[in-house]
Amino acid sequence: MIAELGLAALWLAASLAALQLLAAIIVVRGGGTEGEESMGGLVRPAAVVQGLLCALSFLCLLLAFVRTDLSVALVAENSHSAKPMIFKIAGAWSNHEGSMLLWVTVMGLAGGLIALVERRLPNRTMMATLGAQAFVALGFYAFLLISSNPFERLNPAPAEGNGLNPLLQDVAAAYHPTTLYVGYVGLSVAFSFAVGALLTRQVTPEFARVMRPWVLGAWIFLTLGITAGSYWAYYELGWGGWWFWDPVENASLMPWLAATALLHSASVLAARDALRAWTIMLGVVAFSMSMIGTFLVRSGILTSVHAFAVDPERGNFILALLAIYIGGALTLFALRASTVSEGERFSVLSREGALVINNVALSAILGIVLLGTLYPLVTEAFGVRVSVGPPYFNPVSAIFFFPMLLVLAVGPLLRWRRDSFDRVKLTMIAVLAVPVLVAIAMWAITGIGLLPLLGIALAACVGVGSFMPLRGRSLRRLPLPVWGMVIAHFGIAVALFGASANSAFTVEKLVAAQPGDKTEVGPWTITLAAVTPVAGPNWTALEARLGASYEGDREVEIDPQARNFWAPPQQTTESALLTRWNGQLYAVLGGEAEGGRWQLRLWWKPFVTFIWYGGILIALGGLLALIGRVSVDLKRRSARRTVEARRAVAGEAVA
């Protein structure tokens, strides 16, 4: 019954999206007659109810998983009655159909929310925006209902489910996909705003101000999702790496790069009425990257833990959607871009100038990542199998990333419109001297590689530069968005420092040890006490008890495991981590070797945690900026209401 209710809600939501699209088209194309305007009254309620129906449908799926209703095919394939509750719930979106339902639900809710709260844009622009949102949503409803129905029944119901891939049985599985999806799909709102503004030729600073909080929100979630995903891969895979340039990771990085560029160009448009066409273009590109990411991950064209099922029909379906939306938006852009009148001018040495460089560099990195991700697919069409990894991505993206960081360090010091070199000369030289000094010092002390050396030097430069905008300003009166910028930029420095220090100073040790043996790795002395069998709710494991002592300090116990899951049967390594302020000890238990010895793989990773602290700081910066922007908007709105109310009172008095 619950499954049927969920399916019905989904169909209803789809038909409301169709209604919303039709009504919006009538209003936007119409000449403003009364009948047409009344159609416009349908658009907002349709969007809101559609969002609620999606949420209802998603709740139904959650309930089916919570109850382990095995007559639903999806539950039978991906769940198991003996699984801990949190993984039963997370299991609802740890599969193809469920994750697409989550995608559609987030999209419906986002559309409903803009329909409910956004009143600043001209009515026609708003109708065009909501129409575009409905148009995009319709494609994904069709995808779900036609080729990926999550509520399909199984008759007869099996006695027990297949279980969930053990790699996905982790708390991170609960929040990593959800945060990423909110980010991906949040960008659909930016896309719809861009299309709406293009259709009605209303590319104004007001449009940028309306779009900005949505981009910020999506960007915060993307940042958190990527950070969480990176940490998850780091401790779950047991390989000690935190970023593999795996196509699926790139699929989440590309929308982030585009959204970061969009965020900065929207700021220029909002503050200075420049970069109009470019901002629209980025709005289109950002969501396109989300969809390309979905295509890469969900089509089964790539094999990874993320590619749940290989099904060419689904791949073709998403490819068709991709062609319609991206192709359509780019065509619209080509037709309308020339009619978007030119924005304000600015000199090269100005805040805008620095932001343009940031945008070009981010776009270049985006292009590099995109080409590297698609290259294996292209060569495979010619029968050549290649894989593209760090030897390509690291140096090639660094060529654009590192100069961009120099601009990042000094850009926020510049004034809008035009600045004089004399005014900022001293600060600039001071900030830019930092990386040179650090690089020389590092090079003299240690013999580390070029990329980590530059990374640490630039991290120092950005770290110092990020706080420069606070100089000479009253910290208590500083607007929240400025704090947000400072903290986010500082987060970049922290993450870069962590990544560079990790790759420069990591010590690795691979041994076969007998109980009682001592091993040294970096400043640590590790003693293997024993290896014992242990059991969990749906697994059994071998667990090593290791005593870890930092520079002769008191021993701390860590217990890496080699786990055997029995539903489905699969082995995983559960690495053990010991975190200090200056890094992490990472231990993995391997197999048994001859002579009663056990394989141990140990890493000392100095400052590796800074990578994720940095990611969290970047997201926190975004959050502060978002709170600042939204509270200003709310104040303005209430001020406008007060003025209107006073005018009304004054008008009555005159009458």
Give residues in contact with another protein (CB under 8 A).
165, 238-239, 302-305, 308-309, 342, 345-349, 356, 359-361, 363-365, 367-368, 371-372, 375-376, 379, 384-389, 391-392, 395-396, 399-400, 418-421, 510-512, 562, 568, 570-573, 588, 590-591, 593-595, 597, 599, 601
600 forms beta bridges with 511, 589
Residue 28 or 544: the one with the smaller Cβ distance to another protein is 544
Closest approach of Cβ 385 to another protein, in Å? 4
Residue 501's nearest CA partner among 438, 434, 453 is: 453
Task: Judge whether 407 and 357 are in contact, CB under 8 Å.
Answer: yes
Residue 625 buriedness (CB in 10 A; 0-12 / 13-18 / 19+): buried
Residue 421 or 581: the one with the smaller Cβ distance to another protein is 421
Task: Judge whether 373 and 250 are in contact, CB under 8 Å.
Answer: yes
Task: Judge whether 266 and 278 are in contact, CB under 8 Å.
Answer: no
Closest approach of Cβ 380 to another protein, in Å? 9
Residue 162 or 582: the one with the smaller Cβ distance to another protein is 162
Residue 38 or 420: the one with the smaller Cβ distance to another protein is 420
Q: If phi over 0 gives left and psi between -120 and 50 gives alpha, with beta otherwise, what is residue 522?
A: left
Residues 6+ apart with CB under 8 A from 354: 407, 410, 411, 412, 414
CA–CA separation, 526 vs 592, rounded Å? 18
Closest approach of Cβ 390 to another protein, in Å? 9
Residue 385 or 476: the one with the smaller Cβ distance to another protein is 385
Residue 391 or 537: the one with the smaller Cβ distance to another protein is 391
Residue 201 or 423: the one with the smaller Cβ distance to another protein is 423
CA–CA separation, 267 vs 263, rounded Å? 6
Instruction: Tell me the two tokens of residue 540.
Output: 């059994």
Which ranges constitute the DSSP H helices of 237-275?
Answer: 247-272
Residue 364 or 482: the one with the smaller Cβ distance to another protein is 364
Closest approach of Cβ 238 to another protein, in Å? 8
CA–CA separation, 284 vs 211, rounded Å? 13
Sheet harboring 597-606: ordered strands across? 507-513, 597-606, 583-593, 576-580
Closest approach of Cβ 561 to another protein, in Å? 13
Closest approach of Cβ 248 to another protein, in Å? 12
Closest approach of Cβ 601 to another protein, in Å? 5
585 forms beta bridges with 578, 604
CA–CA separation, 330 vs 291, rounded Å? 14
Residue 25 or 305: the one with the smaller Cβ distance to another protein is 305
Residue 170 or 419: the one with the smaller Cβ distance to another protein is 419
Closest approach of Cβ 76 to another protein, in Å? 15
Residue 150 or 372: the one with the smaller Cβ distance to another protein is 372
Closest approach of Cβ 642 to another protein, in Å? 40
Please name the residue that has the structure tokens 């991206």. Answer: 326
For the chain, the maximum distance between any two Cα atoms, rounded to a whole number of angstroms, is 102
* Residue 19 identity: L
Residue 417 or 580: the one with the smaller Cβ distance to another protein is 417
User: Phi, psi at residue 585, to the nearest 5°?
Assistant: -95, 130
How many Cα atoms sit within 13 Å of 205 on the Cβ side?
9
Going 482 to 484 to 488 to 491, the CA torsion angle's sign is: positive
* Residue 485 identity: M
Residue 384 or 653: the one with the smaller Cβ distance to another protein is 384
Closest approach of Cβ 382 to another protein, in Å? 12
Residue 31 or 595: the one with the smaller Cβ distance to another protein is 595
Residues 6+ apart with CB under 8 A from 443: 453
CA–CA separation, 137 vs 298, rounded Å? 17
Task: Judge whether 144 and 99 are in contact, CB under 8 Å.
Answer: no
What's the length of the chain? 655
Instruction: Tell me the two tokens of residue 193.
Output: 């705003």
Closest approach of Cβ 420 to another protein, in Å? 6
Helical pair 421-445 and 450-467, crossing angle rounded to 10 deg: 140
Count of Cβ atoms closer than 10 Å to residue 287 Cβ: 30
Task: Judge whether 133 and 192 are in contact, CB under 8 Å.
Answer: yes
CA–CA separation, 78 vs 96, rounded Å? 10
Closest approach of Cβ 74 to another protein, in Å? 15
Residue 3 or 365: the one with the smaller Cβ distance to another protein is 365
Task: Judge whether 299 and 314 are in contact, CB under 8 Å.
Answer: yes
Q: If phi over 0 gives left and psi between -120 and 50 gives alpha, with beta otherwise, what is residue 607?
A: left
Closest approach of Cβ 611 to another protein, in Å? 21
Residues 6+ apart with CB under 8 A from 502: 242, 605, 606, 607, 608, 611
CA–CA separation, 548 vs 135, rounded Å? 58
Residue 227 or 397: the one with the smaller Cβ distance to another protein is 397
Closest approach of Cβ 375 to another protein, in Å? 5
Closest approach of Cβ 182 to another protein, in Å? 26
Task: Judge whether 600 and 607 are in contact, CB under 8 Å.
Answer: no
Closest approach of Cβ 584 to another protein, in Å? 18
